[in-house]
Amino acid sequence: MRKIIILLNIIILVNFTANCQTKKLNTKEVVKTEFGNILDSLEVNGSILIYDVKNKIYYSNDFSWAKTGVIPASTFKIPNSIIALETGIIKNDSAIFKWNGEKRRFKRWEEDLTFKKAFQVSCVPCYQEIARKVGVKRMKKYLRKLDYKGMVFDTLTIDNFWLEGKSKFSQMQQIDFLERLYFSKLPISKKTENIMKDIMQIEKTENYVISGKTGWGMRNEMNNGWLVGYLETNNSVYFFATNVEKQETNMDEFPIIRLNSTKEAFRKLKIIQ
């Protein structure tokens, strides 16, 4: 009996390995030096990663960077929002976060904010409130359910683990998670999915729509910036995860660099004009 169990485990392992290899063989990784040139011109280091779903091609200037986990910063507001909605902590996108009158880091956070607005202005105190209400046990349960790996936290760090500490998430993981959200493959309600797709919209034109989330944290004493999301055209969708670093000199332009570099990469691929 023991030999049969061992044999079955070996068969399962072989099939699992084969499936993983098949998945890897079905996608291609194409190095685009042009993406690196874009970042060089903006005086930042990092990686732009774009996934062409239709042709199953990943494009990046640095796949090593794209596969390395770093602190997710405010990109974690995507799963945090999903969990808030799924647990009922937040009922809908018009739910209100009351400002207590205390001074906050940014003026745009110093007012009562709807859930949608709090997401779009990336209100850290609002999402710390959500995390505390979710709690450690439920947070871990839902992150397992969403297959959102790499988060490290306990009761002392429940409201800041995505901003500092040992939590890590890679650009590849960002795209995998966003792809599952976009194609309704996450174990969440349709209501939650629709709210997320609405609040994530960043830019809409006649030719394309960009949806996603920014993030700003620290890595190795360097400013680390994120922009993750997807770009929809009339006939396809492309997922992206941009992660860049810059020394703390003139940081005024750092926030816009994330979007500009990503859009320029799409231009290089002739996806947008």
**What is d(CA 273, CA 267) in angstroms, rounded to the nearest whole number?**
6
Contacts of 23-30 spanning 24+ positions with Cβ under 8 A? 26/56, 27/56, 27/57, 27/58, 28/56, 28/57, 28/58, 29/57, 29/58, 29/60, 29/63, 30/57, 30/58, 30/59, 30/60
Tell me: pLDDT of 2 over 50: no
184 is catalytic: no
pLDDT digits (tens, 9 = 90+) for 67-87: 999 999 999 999 999 999 999
Q: What are residue 208's phi and psi, to 5 degrees?
A: -160, 165
Catalytic residue among 47, 60, 74, 167: 74
Number of separate helices (H) and strands (E) present in the chain: 9, 9
pLDDT digits (tens, 9 = 90+) for 167-209: 999 999 999 999 999 999 999 999 999 999 999 999 999 999 9
Tell me: pLDDT of 219 over 50: yes
pLDDT digits (tens, 9 = 90+) for 91-117: 999 999 999 999 998 999 999 999 999
pLDDT digits (tens, 9 = 90+) for 13-49: 334 333 333 345 599 999 999 999 999 999 999 999 9
pLDDT digits (tens, 9 = 90+) for 225-272: 999 999 999 999 999 999 999 887 666 777 899 999 999 999 999 999
pLDDT of residue 251: 65
Q: What are residue 71's phi and psi, to 5 degrees?
A: -60, 130
User: Helix, strand, coil proportions of the chain in percent (round to 5)?
Assistant: 45, 20, 35
**What is d(CA 153, CA 150) in angstroms, rounded to the nearest whole number?**
10
CATH number for the domain whose boundaries are 28-268? 3.40.710.10
